[in-house]
Structure 1
Amino acid sequence: MSLNPEVWLALSPRMRAICWLAAMFSSVLLIGWFAIRPLNQTQRLTQRQQSALQPELQAEWRKLRALALPEAQSTVTQVRRFSPLDFHGQSRQLLRWQPMQGDGELVLESRWSQAVETFSLLAERGMQIPAFSLSASESGLRFTLQLEHDDDG
């Protein structure tokens, strides 16, 4: 099939523009179809793989939920309200409590053996310790603790 340029040139400019636009539109559609088709096949393959793995994934989520549920229940029952007076007793002495907006500064004096227990008691009461200092005193150890309420709990 040979193309005759006289037929093309005999067409009006308007008709040539319409034919040119139709040819460009059909070529863009053809190229787009060939470009999108492999993507659709890849997407279908990925969906098949996901649906095949779905029961296994659900089983793993059930295992995780079973592990996390008892822990969440136990932490809810163990959290107590913070009071600086809880830290004044036989093993430690409250020297100063200076409340500030949303946090405060706690100064305690205790024996060296009570240091770890003090931190765990603060954690049980939902307090975070962003900064602290330790210094030796006449009767053992002096804590200066910057405290913040734990917003996660």
Structure 2
Amino acid sequence: MSLGISGFEWYPNGREFIVSASSKRLPTGWEPIKLYRIPKDMNLNEKKAELLYSIRIDENNLFAVDVGNFKWSHDGKWISFLGTPTPSWAMDSNPLCVLSSDGKVFRDIGRMLGFSDWFKWAPQANQLAYISGEGRFFVEN
């Protein structure tokens, strides 16, 4: 499909993917994590990739170098995913984020440990439940 992908998930329509490209450390700091929408017939044609959203990295607020574990809401209007910071930091805190399917609305929801089965969409509503926590401890609700 494409080069440079670190994570992906089908769109609910089955005709395209949401894909992520990891951040890299530059002399000026961390570059944004980029999310793209690509058609399933991309066939390495870079012109078919559409930038959906760029996640700005802030080491004090939202720190991740990659995102993955994509999960769509029941109506396909939202996608949730976990950010992954550097390996040792990921053992203690991972940002849980949501993005609208059109890339216009992004939210940093909270922090949790890196267990993808600890966040789930409600079966028939745009409600996201998750087990929060940091520092290798978790809390309910």
Please confirm whether the aligned pair reaches a TM-score higher than 0.5, indicating the same fold. Answer: no
Which structure: greater strand fraction? Answer: 2
Normalising TM by the smaller chain, what interval?
under 0.3
Larger-gyration structure (1/2): 1
Which structure: greater helix fraction? Answer: 1
- TM-score of the pair, normalised by structure 1: 0.22
